Amino acid sequence: MANTHTNHHRTRPVLPPENETEAERDARYAREWDELMAEERRDREEAEPPLPPPPPQPPPRVFPGPSTASQTGKKNTKASIKIAALNIKGNGNASLYSDNKWWHIWQILRDQNLGMLKLRIEISPGPDNPTGARGVAFVIHRDKIQMDGISTTEVVPGRAMILNVKQKDGSPLSILGVYAPNAPAENAAFWKKIWEWYEERRGMRGPDLMGGDTNIVESPLDRLPARADPSAPVDALDELKIRFNLIDGYRETNPTTRAYTYLQKHTGSQSRIDRFYIRRDLFDNSFEWGIRTTGIETDHRMISLRLTCRNATEMGRGRWTWPKHLNEDPILTRYIDEKGKIYEENLEKAKVWEARAPDFNPQNLWANFKSDIVKKARERAKIVVRKLSAAVITEKIIDLEKKRHRASRLTAQVRNRIEGEVIGRYWSKINKPTKPKEVIQRLRKEQPNPEDEPTYETDSKKMATMARNYHNKIQYDRTETPQEVRTVTTEKVLSRVNRKTTE
C-alpha cells in the first residue's frame, strides 16, 4: 500500500510507487476513494446530531372490526356466518317443480355461501291484508347454522319477526327482521310499536341484529337524487336504535360511499332503504358489509354481512384456487410446458435408479413441479386481468348475473331429474341428514406447572400443530419392542382369527 500521512483526520494519498502497473493503479485509486468516502462519512456523522427515532407506528388493524380510510390491516378470518336480507315479490310459479322462487332462493344460499337469509315476501297474510300481500320470513342453511334451539317470535304480524339462533361458539343471537310500511305516519308508528312490544316483555332479549326493508333513509346521502325523508319516521327509528344501542354497520364501515338497494324504474331514483343495524358492542365482530345484485327477479338488491364471535376459532383462508382466465395466459402456458418437460426428464432418470433417493423420487419431483407452477400462477394472477369495457360491465352486470343464476339453477334441476330417483352417491347425499361441521373451539396448552391456571389456543393452524406434535410424541415416545416378542404376539393374535381371505 502507498505511504500516507494524516492531516485533520484525513487520509491523503502520496506519490505512487515506482513501476506500478495499470491494474495496480486502478486498484489503488478505488481503495483510496473508498477510504476518503468513509472518512467524510465519519466527519459528517460527528458534526451532525443524530436523527430522532421515528414515531411508533400504530399496530395493524386485525379484521373483523370497524374500518376507516386511515386504517390499514390484514384480514384475520375467524369462523363466521354470512347473514343477508332480500326483498322479493311473491312466490313465483305455484308448482314446486317449475319456476318457483323458493328454488332460486335455495340457489342464492348456495352461491353466496349464506348461513341465513332474511326475506321480505308477498305471500304471508297480515291483519290488515288478509290476501297475503306481504310478510317476513327467514331461510336457514342447515349445513351452516346450528338447528338446535332455533325459535321465532312474531312482533308485528306481517311486518316484524324475531329469530333466535346460536352462534359458532354456542352464544345466543337474536335477529329482528322488519318490513316497515311505506306511508310516513304508519312507518313512524311501526317503530314505536316494536319498542312497546319489547317494553311489555322486559325479560325478552333485545335484538343483536335488525335488518330488512325500512322504507326510509336517515341521510340524504342514501338517496339519488339526494333529499331528506320526513322527520317523524326518521326520529322514531333513531329512538329505537338508541334504546337498543344499534348502529348502521354499512355506513360505519363506508362513511362516504354512495350505494343503493332499491331502483324505482319509472323515475330512475334510487335509495338505500334496505339496511342492517347491529348492536354497537358486536360491531367489532362484523365484517364484509356489502350490497350486491342477485339473479332472482326483484327490484331490490341484497344486503349482507359476516358475523363472528369473540371466542370463535380462527380459521384459515382456505385453499387457493386456480383462476379460470389463467388458462388462456400464453406466458403461464409456456412456463408450464417447459417445467413439464424437465419434470418428465427427471422422472425417467428416477425410474432407472436402483435405490430410491430421498430427495429425487417421483413423489418429490411431482410435488416440486406443482409447487413451481402454482407459484408462477400466483404471480401471473396479480398481473393478468380480463380486459373488459367498463361500460359493458355497467350495462350488463345484472343480465350476466341472471344468466349465471339461471344456468346454475338449470344444472341443479337436470341433475336432480337424472339422479334424484336413482340410488347412488347423489341420492344418498341429498337424503342424508346434515348438520354444521363440528369445529374444535380450543385446545388446552401444555403447562410447565400443572397447578397453574390453564391457557387455551384458538388459532386453527396452531391447534393443528399442537395435535400433530401430540400424536407424533405418542408414536416416538415408546420403547422398541424386541423382534422375538413382536413375532410371538403377532402369531398369538393371528391364531385367534377364524376368518381368512379366499384365494
Task: Report angle CA 15, 21, 24 to the nearest 5 degrees.
Answer: 75
| Alpha carbon distance 96, 171 (integer Å) | 36
Q: How is residue 234 written as a grid cell?
A: 326518521
The burial of 308, by beta-carbon neighbours within 10 Å (0-12 exposed, 13-18 middle, 19 or more buried), is given as: buried
Residue 314 has pLDDT above 60, yes or no: yes
Detail the DSSP E strand segments found in 127-228.
135-140, 151-156, 160-166, 172-179, 209-213, 223-224
Residue 319's pLDDT band, with cuts at 50, 70 and 90, is confident
Residue 498 has pLDDT above 60, yes or no: yes
So what's the pLDDT on residue 335? 92
Is 495 or 16 the better-scoring residue by pLDDT? 495
| Alpha carbon distance 479, 485 (integer Å) | 13
| Alpha carbon distance 310, 78 (integer Å) | 9
**What superfamily does domain 69-308 belong to in CATH?**
Endonuclease/exonuclease/phosphatase (3.60.10.10)
Q: Is the pTM of this model over 0.75?
A: no
Read off the pLDDT of residues 242-298 as tens digits, 9 standing for 90 and up.
999 999 999 999 998 889 999 888 888 889 999 999 999 999 888 889 998 887 778
Cell 339422479 appears where? 419
So what's the pLDDT on residue 160? 92
Count the neighbouring beta carbons within 10 Å of the beta carbon of residue 441. 15
Burial call 239-261: b when 16+ CB within 10 Å, e when fewer: ebbeebebebbbbbbbeeeebbb
Lowest mean pLDDT among 11-20, 139-148, 224-233: 11-20
Name the β-bridge partners of 119.
Answer: 86, 137
Stretch 64-93: mean pLDDT, rounded? 58
Cell 310478510 appears where? 135
Q: Do residues 412 and 429 lie in contact, with contact meaning Cβ atoms separated by under 8 Å?
A: no
Is the peptide bond between 60 and the residue preceding it cis, with omega within 30 degrees of 0?
Answer: no
